[in-house]
Amino acid sequence: MDDGATILNTHHWPAGISRVPFWVYQDQAVMRAEQKRIFEGPVWHFLCLEVDIENQGDYRTTFIGDMPVIVVRGEAGALHGFENRCAHRGALIAFNDYGNTKDFTCAYHAWRYDLQGNLCSIAFQRGVGGKGGMPREFDMRQHGPRKLRVDSIGGLVFGTVDPAAPTLEAFLSAPIVAKIKRVFNRKLEVIGRFTQHLPNNWKMYAENIRDTYHASLLHLFFTTFKITRFDQAGGVTISPDGAHHASATIGKGIETQSVYKDQGIRSDSEEFLLRDDSFLASSPEFGDDIQLQNVALFPGTMLQQLYNSLAVRQTVPRGVDGMDLHWTFVGFADDTPEMRKMRLKQANLAGPAGYVSMEDGCIGNFVQRGVAAASDEIAIVEMGGYESESQNTRATEASVRGFWKNYRRLMEI
Amino acid sequence: MPGMDTLYRVSALNTAYAATIDGDRLEDWPGFFHTDCLYKITTAENVRRGLLAGIIYADSRGMLEDRVAAIRRANIFENHAYRHVIGMASILGEDADGIRAEAPFLVVRTMRDGQMTLFAAGRYQDLLRPDETGALRFAERVVICDSPRFDTLVAIPL
């Protein structure tokens, strides 16, 4: 049994949330325990957008950790989700990314499921010519893929495997729901999808999206063009359980570069000027002066508002030392042509080739390789103290500690 | 029906384009484009679904120059190089807008430790026009990758 207690028989983790042992990014047993306790635990996971499955029978396939799932629009607008695994031999029931269907028929032996994931017919159940077929007593109602609870907020569809999970809103907490609804406040429209393979354990990216400390140090583009700097107003809001985080950067920033100069830090380069900065001409659209809002949802989803560049980033683990990051860039259905053009141009900022995000594609791998022989050593997560409370600075790792607080609680580790 | 001359000029441009990127002469790369241009990297699936976003989206030569400046001076990544193999172009048509052409490509990425990966495969969808000197330049180059997935990051242009 791969659970936290068993793992701690052979691995050491100091008490608290400000030190992280490197074995947690390396161990297969940890990964198996995460599947049970986090991905199939009392956690809601982003699955798709409501507009991805607008009409009855529209479906998308995705993953909750390693678990393949189908999310589908049923009758009367209802949302359903279930494991993408045939009750018979376990084959994938749907093997396209999306589609529209009346029902789902497994390709292997044509066992058929309705839009709620109920097994509703078995090919040759009574055999052929009185021979073969399933035993009389076989009860279809007792067999089927595991079902998800599915709910949505702000047009984002989430699912959980765990019947004991709190409601979606309770899971997210009121302060985080407010941050989500600030941006996701009307009908969305997808403008592009990209997948980025990150050669690192998924938790390194979960930390990265909560790590406000690195943003202007690793990503020089941010700093030079004052998109976010520690000397701009802002801070982090963290849910009470530590699980979720929202960071905000307020205002256009200020001209002084003294904060960085005093530190002698590389990421301040005055002579770096853009030839065509038209893509930075953002247009406030949420009734406030928040230029940047990143909402990180436990475990690995990030909702991005970077000026007018809006995206959902979904983490799917791919083994211990890899993950896929699914980027869905969105606008609103009522975007003006000018706003839509601005979103297309600002997509340069974040994504697999993003000016302020491409480094995140390789930095986790630098850690993964750096700690190769250091399973029993520990990472230090102490910027801004030892706890995970909300703070009015971004020079902190409070949100990263929040992730580990919730992780240790769920993993019982 | 465009003649051999057009095919030759487009092919020569593609060859020079590949040699410029693969030879790490990135500062010369924006020169393959008109001042007003479109350079975009996207995926076949986005094109099929009519989704317009790209991971790189530049609508001026200035934005391409900025890309190069950012790669050289701002962005952090491990040293690597591309080797483009660009197949024979198809000339799809020629009208007042210019020459419409398409060419398939493969890009092998070699990392500093020697690891070699088939990094990208796809097609270029191009609109070409001569500049004031008569040399062909891209008014549009849309890089349509067959795979929806990019490994690690895309720093050097495709």
- Reported as a single tens digit per residue, the pLDDT across B86-99 is 999 999 999 999 99
Q: How far is A258 from chain B (nearest CA, A)?
A: 19
> Residue A88, class by beta-carbon neighbours within 10 Å (0-12 exposed, 13-18 middle, 19+ buried)?
middle
Q: Mutation test of the interface with chain B: which of A49, A60, A194, A216, choosing the one with the most B Cβ atoms within 10 A?
A: A194
Closest chain A residue by Cα to residue B156: A353
pLDDT at A259: 47
User: What is the average pLDDT across A245-264?
Assistant: 62
User: What is the average pLDDT across A119-131?
Assistant: 94
Q: Are strands A45-49 and A156-160 parallel, antiparallel or unpaired?
A: antiparallel
pTM: predicted TM-score of the whole model, two decimal places: 0.95
Q: How far is B91 from chain A (nearest CA, A)?
A: 28
Where does the pLDDT of residue A256 fall: very low under 50, low under 70, confident under 90, or very high at 90 and above? very low
B42 contacts: CB under 8 Å, gap ≥ 6: A192, B51, B53, B54, B55, B142, B143, B144, B145
pLDDT at A5: 78
Q: Which of A188, A231, A217, A223 is nearest to A359 (CA)?
A: A217
pLDDT at B59: 97
Residue numbers in B near A192 (CB within 8 A)? 42, 46, 51-54
pLDDT at A242: 95
Q: Contact B78/A190, CB-based, under 8 Å?
A: no
pLDDT at A262: 54
Q: How far is B9 from chain A (nearest CA, A)?
A: 30
**pLDDT at A303 > cutoff 60:** yes
Q: Which of A303, A325, A329, A330 is nearest to A314 (CA)?
A: A325
**Nearest-CB residue to B51 (from A190, A279, A359):** A190
Residue numbers in B near A355 (CB within 8 A)? 70, 74-75
**pLDDT at B68 > cutoff 90:** yes
Where does the pLDDT of residue A253 fall: very low under 50, low under 70, confident under 90, or very high at 90 and above? very low
pLDDT at A217: 87
This complex has an ipTM of 0.97
Q: Hey, which residues does A268 pair with through a beta bridge? A: none
CA distances from A88 to A70, A329, B113 (A): 17, 37, 46
Q: Residue A181: how many CB atoms within 10 A of its CB?
A: 11
Q: Mutation test of the interface with chain A: which of B33, B47, B57, B77, choosing the one with the most A Cβ atoms within 10 A?
A: B57
pLDDT at A227: 52
Please name the residue that has the structure tokens 């009185």.
Answer: A130
What confidence tens digit (pLDDT) does each residue in A19-35 have? 999 999 999 999 999 99
Between A231 and B6, the higher pLDDT residue = B6
Q: Contact B55/A221, CB-based, under 8 Å?
A: no
What confidence tens digit (pLDDT) does each residue in B17-31 have? 999 999 999 999 999
A256 contacts: CB under 8 Å, gap ≥ 6: A231
Sign of the torsion formed by the C-alpha atoms of B60, B61, B62 and B66: positive
Closest chain A residue by Cα to residue B67: A355
Q: What is the dihedral of CA A200, A202, A205, A211, to 10 degrees?
A: -120
The share of chain B scoring above pLDDT 70, in percent, equals 99
Q: Mutation test of the interface with chain B: which of A270, A276, A324, choosing the one with the most B Cβ atoms within 10 A?
A: A276
Where does the pLDDT of residue A271 fall: very low under 50, low under 70, confident under 90, or very high at 90 and above? low
What confidence tens digit (pLDDT) does each residue in A201-247 have? 999 999 999 998 888 788 888 676 655 455 678 888 999 999 999 99
Q: Contact A358/B151, CB-based, under 8 Å?
A: no
Q: Mutation test of the interface with chain A: which of B56, B59, B75, choosing the one with the most A Cβ atoms within 10 A?
A: B75
The share of chain A scoring above pLDDT 90, in percent, equals 80
Task: Calculate the average pLDDT of chain A.
Answer: 92
pLDDT at A224: 66
The distance from CA A368 to its chain's CA centroid, rounded to whole angstroms, is 20
Q: Which of B70, B79, B78 is nearest to B29 (CA)?
A: B70
Using an 8 Å CB-CB cutoff, list residues of chain A that contact chain B: 190-199, 218, 220-221, 224, 269, 272, 274-279, 324, 329, 340, 343-345, 347-348, 351-355, 358-359, 361-363, 365
Q: How many CB pairs under 8 A join A and B?
A: 120
Q: Are B9 and B32 in contact (CB under 8 A)?
A: no
Residue numbers in A near B37 (CB within 8 A)? none
